[in-house]
Structure 1
Amino acid sequence: MYSSKKLLTGRYTSKSHFYSITICTNQKALLFKSFENACIAARSLLYMQNNVNTVCYTLMPDHLHWLFQLNDLPLAEVIKQYKSITTVKINKFNCSSGKVWQQGYFEHQLRSEEDLINQARYIVANPLRASLANEVGEYPFWDCVYL
């Protein structure tokens, strides 16, 4: 298996393109089962709005699905900033100093409007597939510009 650094070698990100990102917590810890930790992570997405235009997100107990249009910063820098902001805030809140996120992330550049809509539906429905809610509106940590 290749490291995420080798998988990303030769890839570049493009301004104005849409990306679907999945970021996992360190050792798949259920960090966001804590309402307070989940609030910190969800609010931190707002800090990123100068760098991306968020289409939708869903914060699951052990990972984040995030669909956005990239602005000026490269994708890797956006993810680095988000991870840094949330790690500092979550560690401060919990009086801890550990890792919050796994190294790396999964990304998919969307190529069509149909792909954009399908990804948004997939992301928003994630809590339903995981049996965390019976209806999308019951789950507190998601948002989508289409709804």
Structure 2
Amino acid sequence: MDRLETAHEAFRKYALKGVEEFNVGVGRYVIMPDHMHFFVRGDNQFNLGKWVNGLKRAISVALGGTNNRPLWQPGFFDHLLRNDESYAQKWEYVRQNPVRAGLVDSAAAWRYQGKIVTIDRA
């Protein structure tokens, strides 16, 4: 299994655990060779930073990462979708990442994407 497949499997496992145990929903996502994009929702008690750190840790462990060499940059970048923004438009931009990176000819051909739960807003 290649690194992206391993990361994808670990991402899905962690995201499904979040749905079952913590009422955290991961919508659509794309796993890239050096980063990932995903849409996530949680209740008022949801701590995105803590959740992302757990996700990074889970994927690092799956990839055989050690504490000697970090696999991830510190922190993360987030963006809150506002009422006037379309989830569908943001998703289309995100899913085109592999095409813009020259990894595939069409977004549909990228194997490392999917959806855990439906969180569409529009």
TM-score normalised over the length of structure 2: 0.75
Query: Structure 1 residue runs of 4+, over 4 Å off?
Result: none
Unaligned runs of 5+ in 1: 1-34
Q: Residue 65 of structure 1 is aligned with which of 37, 40, 43? A: 37
Q: In structure 1, how many angstroms separate the alpha carbons of the residues matched to 2:39 and 2:84?
A: 13
2:3 to 2, 21, 37: 37
The runs of 5 or more residues in structure 2 that have no matched partner are none
TM-fit CA distance, 1:113: 6.7
Aligned pairs for 1:1-147 (under 5 A) are 36-46=2-12, 47-49=14-16, 50=18, 51=22, 52-71=24-43, 72-91=45-64, 97-112=68-83, 114-144=85-115
Tell me: CA distance 1:113–1:121, structure 2 relative to 1, closer, same or farther (3 Å).
farther
Cα root mean square deviation, aligned: 2.4
After superposition, the C-alpha distances for 1:86-122 in whole angstroms (9 at most, x for unaligned) are 1112126xx8952110101110011127432221111
Tell me the number of residue pairs that the alignment of Structure 1 and Structure 2 aligns.
110
Shift of 1:37: 1.5
Contact in 2 for aligned 1:48/1:78 (Cα 8 Å): no
TM (norm. structure 1) is: 0.64
